[in-house]
Structure 1
Amino acid sequence: MLRAFLRTAAARARSRSPRPAPDDDVLLDAPDDRLAPALVAAARGEHAAAAGLLAGTRENAEWDHRDRYATRLAAFARSRSEWLDTWRAAAPDDPDALLVAVRLTVHRHWDSPARAELLHQVVPTVVAAAEAAGPVDPVPWRTALDAARGARAGHAEFERLWEQAVRRCPHHYGSHVAALEYLAAASPDAHGECLDFAETAAQEAPEDALVRALPLHAALTCRTPAALRAHRRRLHTAADRAITLSAAHPAADPWAAELRNLLVHVLVCLERHRDAAEQLLLTGPYVTSFPWDRDTDDPLGGFLRVRADVRARQGEAATTTGAAGPGRPRSGHGGRVRPGDH
C-alpha cells in the first residue's frame, strides 16, 4: 500500500499538465490525497486517520466524498479488517465506524450466490444503523438502498428508503446511483425510464453537483445497438453535460477519475473518439475499475485496450484529414461533427 501511495504521488507530480501517461505509469483505483494516508495507516492496523477523514466529511457535509471514502475503506477492510475491528471495539457507537462496518457487511454478501437471502437478513440492521446516524447524513441510507436492491426488495420498501435518503440530501450522487440501478434491474428494457429519472435529477441539481453526471451512468443501460440508436440524442446530451462537469476539475485529478473514465466509455460507444481522446488526456494516469469491470475481469487491461484504440483512430483521422488539431466545426449537441451525426 505504501509503495502504491508513493507511486500515486510521483505520478501526480508528473501530471500537472495534460499528457499521455505511459502504460507502466497507469494506476488502478488510486486514492486521492485525503484517502491515501488513511489507507496507509489502516495497512498498519491504525484507524485514527480513517476516523478523522470520515468525521471531517460528516461535519462538513461532504456527502459525495464521504460516500466514496466509506466505500473504499470498506473494500480495504474486506482483506485487512484489524484496524476496523479495533476501531469498533474502542468506539462501538461511532457513526463513522458503523458506516464502514455496515458497508463492509453489504460488500461481503454481494458476491455470494445466496446474496438476496443474506442481504434480506441484514437489511434491518443496515436500516437501524442509518436511522442512528441522525437527521442529515444520507450516506448510510445509500448503503440501505444497496442492501435493499441486492435483497430484491419490493417497490414500496425501496421507495421508503429512498425518501429517507433524499430528505437528507436531495442531490446525493450515491443515492441516485442506487435508485437508478434498482430501476435498471427491475426491467432489462427500462432504458427510457432510467434516462428520464437521471435527466430529471441532473436538471434539478446545482451546476457543480456530481449528480449532474447521472445521465451518463444511465447511458450504461443502453447496451444494445437498438437502444443506442433509440436514445442517441439523449446520450450525446448526457456526454456533453459530463464534459462540462469534467472541465471544472483539474487535469490528472484522482477525484474526477471515475467521472472521466465513465465519460470515455460512453464517448467511445457514441463513436466520439476525438472527445474521448481529450478526456483520456485529462484523466492522466488514473484508471478506475468502474466502468471497465462491467465488460471484463481485467479492468486495467480493458482501459488500456480502449485507450490504444482511441489513439489509433485519432492517428488514422489525422492521416486522412490532415486536421488533427483543434478548430474543427462542432455539431449542434456540443461535440465536433462526425459522420454519424447526420
Structure 2
Amino acid sequence: MVRTMSLLRALLRTVRLVRHTPRLADGLPPDEAILLDAPDSRIGPALVAAAHGEYEPAAKLLATTREAAEWEHRDRYVMRLAVFAYSRGDWLASWLADAPRDPDALIVKTELAIRRAWESPARAERLREIGPLIDAAAEAAPGDPVPWRIALDHARGTHAVHTAFETLWEQAVRRSPHHYGCHVAALRYLSAQWYGSHRECFDFAERAAADAPPGSLMPALPARAAFARMEAEDTFPVRPGSVRPLEEERTDAAADRAIALSAGYPAGDPWPAEVRNLTAYVLVRQGRWTDALEQFRLIGSYATSFPWNRFSDDPLGRFLDAREGVRLRLAAMAPPRARTGRSWLAGH
C-alpha cells in the first residue's frame, strides 16, 4: 500500500510538471537569448572601439559622466572598462601614454590595478602598493566619489581599522551622499565576513535605504545585506533552525523593498538588472518561488555575473539553473488541472 501511494504521488508530480512547466515559461526569454553582463547603449560602442585598440570613445564617455556628475553611470562604466582592460589593455596603455594625467584614464587604471591586486596571492601587499595610485586618481578629480569607492574596497583588503574606514567614508559621502557604489563597498566592509556583523550590516543598509532619494538604487542595499548573510552561511554552514527569526524577518523585508524598487522600472531594463538578479537570488533562497519567477520575468535577457559568480565559475549556467528550478518548484505545487497563469500565481 505504501509503495502504491508513493508511486501515485510520483505520477501526480510528473503530471503537474509536464502540464505546468511550459506554461510557467510565459514571459521568460529562452535560454539561448540570455546575455551575461550585456552592455547598455552608451558603454557598448566604447567597448567595441576598445576591442579595436581605440580609446577615444571611452575617454569621451567618462568625460561626459564626470562633467555631468553622473556618478552612478561613471562608476559602472569604469568597472566595465577595467574588466575589459584586464585581458585587452592595449587601448588603455595608449590612452595613458597620450594623456598620463587624464582623470578618466587614471580612474580606469586604478580600478584595473585593484582588481588585479585582489586576485593576487599576495593581496594585502599588492593592495598597499597601489595606495598612491588611488590618491592620484582622487586628486585628479576632486569631486568624483568613484576613487573613494575604490579606496573603500582598498581599505577592506588592507585590513584598515574602523577609524581609517570612517575617514574614507566621510570623504565619499561628502562627494555624493547617496552614491550606491560607495554604500555597497562600505556594506561589504561592515559584513560579518570582514570587519562587522550581520546586525551592523543590516543596520547600515536599512538606514541608507530609508534615506534614499527618488530614483536611487539604495533601497536594494538591505537585499545586499541579506545576501552577505547568506554568503556567510554558505562559507560557514549553520545548523537548520539556527538562523535568528529577526534575521529572517529582516531578510524578507529586504526582499520586499527590492521587489518594490524593481517594480518601478520597465521589464528588460538593463539599469536595474543587477539589482533584479540579486533580488531573484534572495527570493530563491527564501523559497519565495512566485516572487522569484516574477523577477526572472522582469530581468528578461539581462543576466548579471553578480550574484551568481559568488557560488559558481559559470554564473550564466547558475542563473539558468535557478530560473528553471523556480519553474519546476511552482509546477510541482500546482494541482494537475490548475491554470498556471498570473491569476493562479498571484495566490501562491
State TM-score, norm by structure 2.
0.85
Question: Displacement, 1:228?
Answer: 6.7
Question: 3-state SS of the aligned residue for 2:130?
Answer: helix
Question: 3-state SS of the aligned residue for 1:254?
Answer: coil
Q: Which residue of 2 aligns with 1:160?
A: 167
Is 1:267 the counterpart of 2:289 in the alignment? no
Whole-angstrom distance in 1 between the partners of 2:310 and 2:96:
33
* Letter of the 1:178 counterpart: A
1:167-316 to 2 correspondences below 5 Å: 167-184=174-191, 187=194, 190-223=197-230, 224=233, 226-227=242-243, 229-316=245-332
Q: Are the aligned partners of 1:63 and 1:137 in contact in 2 as well (CA < 8 Å)?
A: yes
* Letter of the 2:305 counterpart: S
Residues 111 and 187 of structure 1, relative CA distance in 2, 3 Å threshold: closer
* Letter of the 1:249 counterpart: Y
Q: Are the aligned partners of 1:123 and 1:148 in contact in 2 as well (CA < 8 Å)?
A: no
Q: Which residue of 1 aligns with 2:123?
A: 115
Is 1:133 the counterpart of 2:149 in the alignment? no
The answer for unaligned runs of 5 or more in structure 2 is 1-25, 234-239
Question: Displacement, 1:321?
Answer: 8.2
Question: Displacement, 1:317?
Answer: 2.6
* Letter of the 1:101 counterpart: K
Is 1:83 the counterpart of 2:99 in the alignment? no
Is 1:124 the counterpart of 2:132 in the alignment? yes
Which of 84, 105, 108 is the matching residue for 1:100?
A: 108
Q: Which residue of 2 aligns with 1:11?
A: none
Residues 187 and 51 of structure 1, relative CA distance in 2, 3 Å threshold: closer
Question: Displacement, 1:292?
Answer: 0.5
- Choose 1 or 2 for highest CA Rg: 2
Question: 3-state SS of the aligned residue for 2:190?
Answer: helix
Whole-angstrom distance in 2 between the partners of 1:62 and 1:327:
41
* Letter of the 1:272 counterpart: R
Whole-angstrom distance in 2 between the partners of 1:327 and 1:285:
24
* Letter of the 1:98 counterpart: L
Question: Displacement, 1:75?
Answer: 0.7
Q: Are the aligned partners of 2:102 and 2:140 in contact in 1 as well (CA < 8 Å)?
A: no
Q: Which residue of 1 aligns with 2:54?
A: 46
Question: Displacement, 1:325?
Answer: 3.4
Question: 3-state SS of the aligned residue for 2:312?
Answer: coil
Question: 3-state SS of the aligned residue for 2:191?
Answer: helix
Identity of aligned residues (%): 56
Whole-angstrom distance in 1 between the partners of 2:282 and 2:342:
21
Cα deviation, 1:227-252, whole Å, max 9, x if unaligned, reads 37441221111111111211222211
Q: Are the aligned partners of 1:317 and 1:324 in contact in 2 as well (CA < 8 Å)?
A: no
Cα deviation, 1:243-298, whole Å, max 9, x if unaligned, reads 12112222112222111110100011111110110110111111111000111111
Q: Which residue of 1 aligns with 2:35?
A: 27
Question: Displacement, 1:318?
Answer: 2.8
Whole-angstrom distance in 2 between the partners of 1:249 and 1:139:
25
Whole-angstrom distance in 2 between the partners of 1:291 and 1:239:
15
Question: 3-state SS of the aligned residue for 2:144?
Answer: coil
The more displaced of 314-323 and 54-63 is 314-323
Determine which structure has greater relative contact order: mean sequence separation of CA pairs < 8 Å that are 6+ residues apart, divided by chain length: 2
Question: Displacement, 1:132?
Answer: 2.8
Question: Displacement, 1:145?
Answer: 1.1
Whole-angstrom distance in 1 between the partners of 2:81 and 2:264:
26
Residue-pair matches, total: 314
Whole-angstrom distance in 2 between the partners of 1:264 and 1:200:
22
* Letter of the 1:220 counterpart: F
Runs of 4+ in 1 over 3 A off after TM superposition: 185-189, 224-230, 323-329
Q: Which residue of 1 aligns with 2:79?
A: 71
State TM-score, norm by structure 1.
0.87
Q: Which residue of 1 aligns with 2:340?
A: 324
Residues 169 and 189 of structure 1, relative CA distance in 2, 3 Å threshold: closer
Whole-angstrom distance in 1 between the partners of 2:176 and 2:299:
28
